[in-house]
Amino acid sequence: MQFLTLIQYFERLEATAKRLDIFEILAALFRLSNTSEIDKIIYLLQEQLLPSFYTVEMGMSEKLLIRSIADASGKNLSEIHQHFQASGDLGKTTECFLSAQLGTNLDVHTVYSQLRRLAELSGEGSVENKVEALAALLQSATPTEAKYISRFVVGRMRLGTGNASILEALSLAKTGERKPKAILERGFNLCSDLGMVGRILFSDGIAGIEKIRPTVGSPIRMALCERITTPEDVIKKIGRCSIEPKLDGFRCQIHKSEGKVEIFSRNLERTTLMFPELVQATKTAINAKSIIFEGEALSYDDRTGELHPFQVTIQRKRKHGIAKAATDIPLKLFAFDLLYANGNDWTNRSYADRRKLLGSLITDNSVIELAHADETDDPIEFSRIFQTAIDEGAEGVVAKRLDGPYKAGARDFNWIKLKRSYKRTLADTVDVCLVGYFNGKGTRAAFGIGAVLATVYDPNTDTFKTVSRIGSGFSEKDWVCLRKVLDFNASNSIPPRVVSTLTPDVWVHPHTVITVMADEITRSAMHTCGKDANGIGYALRFPRAQGFIRNDKNPEDTTTVAEIVRMSENQKLIKLG
Ligand code: ATP
């Protein structure tokens, strides 16, 4: 495909915020694509060269891009800088300075491989080489192509295409069905690589997707918990179950094959280098040639058996001084699931079987230990186990269905969490994605921000729906920092996939996730979350931010509309009871 053709689709995507339009445009684009380029097209739509666990980064700042534009156009830096100050968009600035170019008929393959080459330049002199290579690429492009290349390299494309929309459009383009088959979703959940799913679907159809299996080295999208607020209701829902403490640390998915170990975080980033003691223990204390297993890693006092709070564990999240931190704050991994062992996929086996095998593979408990678990079908016993877990420093418990499979990428009732906070205010905190902010009044006027517009995710429509306006819980320092982050993601109009009846002073692309606590959930005509036929949705009452930006969460990881509706119903039950 000519790169210019792809750009025309980017322009159409940019011009709409309607989810249905986005979906139709993507499906039309995929129908035009061939097997050798579909993966590249998907990655470019996702604003990446490869999934993040490959750790291939562009490594281009705005400053370096300005130097490339100068090289390509022959204009001086200050002129370009000035234009950028006025336009606020380096894409538009590039287009303007290269407006006389005719282009060289670039195709998708060429642009993608040049960008990959640029990203992979490293070592001495690589900065200069990157600037030069990008200038050459910009020079070979038409002005419109150059606009998008510039936006891509600094991560500012903002096409608004979520994974769910891409998956749906792939399904329609290739199988004629709009709702992706469960098998297509499972394929993606097992490999976490939409480009690869596209490539296999194009070359081998659904039969090829069916063959996707867990692969050591490729992270599997992680299973998550549903919420239920009382032990009685948990047992009603899943019967006799296993109850594990919900520990507050880092979720680790650990892969080992032939002595090589990789660790992935909750949002599939590679964290191997951060946790050397876990790498070492996986090599020596896990009796399997190849394995994928999961657990929660946290700082822990071996002598007293005391779990340290998250504020201690979080200090291990660092890029420098790793060896010293590992000595000062050693981690212990409480292993709770097994996904793959010695060549066999275990994700479809029962929880009970997976746990049994996992326990038998751990040969030394000093760094990796099987997570504690109790089994019961008695609500009173359940409450006692819950209380013991809290007393020992856990944030709650996770109840697990004994015959449940490991459902990659799913939040369902195979795992149910009960947290301590259920008993206080609202059942659990809510993770929200910010899509705008309101200018401050009074003392906040100085910050230019006084409240944020928060949304939750609707996976059925791949949209973000408003649930609250949040103005408390942030310190002065937080507001300043928050505004900077939000301004970086600002949008001139309502961003794609956002559904809102409120209009904030500044719209922001869905990117920033925060956790909030609230007193309760009320019905409200102001918000679009769970809106019914009468136009009445759901809203958080007395919301307040907890902590700060959740860099470990993607926008699609926020609480869902369905969860909010369920939380609202649960609170009714509690009130009635
Ligand atoms: P939260 O924001 O409440 O920590 P979350 O949205 O990240 O939760 P949930 O599905 O609510 O994810 O809870 C699952 C998380 O709980 C896991 O990602 C994991 O890090 C943590 N966890 C701690 N102990 C366990 C356990 N025994 N089994 C499963 N998950 C556990």
Q: Tell me if 544 sits within 8 A of 519, measured CB to CB.
A: no
Pick the catalytic residue: 130, 147, 246, 417?
A: 246
CA of 434 to the centre of ligand 1 (A): 22
* b/e 427-439 (16+ beta carbons within 10 angstroms → b): bbbbbbbbbbbbe
Q: Which residues contact 191 (CB under 8 A, 6 or more apart)?
A: 197, 212, 215, 218, 220
Ligand 1 atom at minimal distance to the Cα of residue 429 = 3
Residue 174: how many other CB atoms lie within 10 Å: 19
Name the phi and psi angles at 539, rounded to 5.
Answer: -140, 155
Name the phi and psi angles at 74, rounded to 5.
Answer: 75, 5
CA of 243 to the centre of ligand 1 (A): 13
Give the sign of the dihedral formed by CA 344, CA 350, CA 354, CA 356.
Answer: negative
For the domain made up of 430-576, give the CATH fold. Answer: OB fold (Dihydrolipoamide Acetyltransferase, E2P) (2.40.50)
For the domain made up of 224-422, give the CATH fold. Answer: D-amino Acid Aminotransferase; Chain A, domain 1 (3.30.470)
Q: Is the CB of 145 under 6 A from ligand 1?
A: no
CA of 245 to the centre of ligand 1 (A): 10
* DSSP for 142-174, written as a single string: -HHHHHHHHHHHTT-------HHHHHHHHHHHH
Q: Is the CB of 251 under 6 A from ligand 1?
A: yes
CA distance 397 to 372: 11
Q: Is the CB of 546 under 6 A from ligand 1?
A: no
CA distance 537 to 189: 31
Domain with CATH 2.40.50.140 in the chain: 430-576
CA of 446 to the centre of ligand 1 (A): 38
Q: Is the CB of 544 under 6 A from ligand 1?
A: no
467 membership: H or E segment, kind and range: strand 463-470
Domain with CATH 3.30.470.30 in the chain: 224-422
Q: Is the CB of 246 under 6 A from ligand 1?
A: yes
Question: What 3-state class would DSSP assign to 485?
Answer: helix
Catalytic site includes residue 211: no
Q: Tell me if 457 sits within 8 A of 558, measured CB to CB.
A: yes
pLDDT per residue, tens digit, the chain (577 aa), is 999 999 999 999 999 888 889 999 999 999 999 999 999 999 999 999 999 999 898 889 999 999 999 999 999 999 999 999 999 999 999 999 999 888 899 999 999 999 999 999 988 889 999 999 999 999 999 999 999 999 999 999 988 888 999 999 999 999 888 777 788 999 999 999 999 999 999 999 999 999 999 999 999 999 999 998 889 999 999 999 999 999 999 999 999 998 899 999 999 999 999 999 999 999 999 999 999 999 999 998 766 667 787 888 989 999 899 999 998 899 999 999 999 999 999 999 999 999 999 999 999 999 999 999 999 999 999 998 998 888 777 889 999 999 999 999 989 999 999 987 644 455 578 999 999 999 877 666 778 898 999 999 999 999 999 999 998 888 888 999 999 999 999 999 999 999 999 999 999 999 999 999 887 888 888 999 999 988 899 999 878 898 889 988 999 999 999 999 988 887 755 544 3
Q: Enter the pTM of the model.
A: 0.80
Hey, which residues does 479 pair with through a beta bridge? none
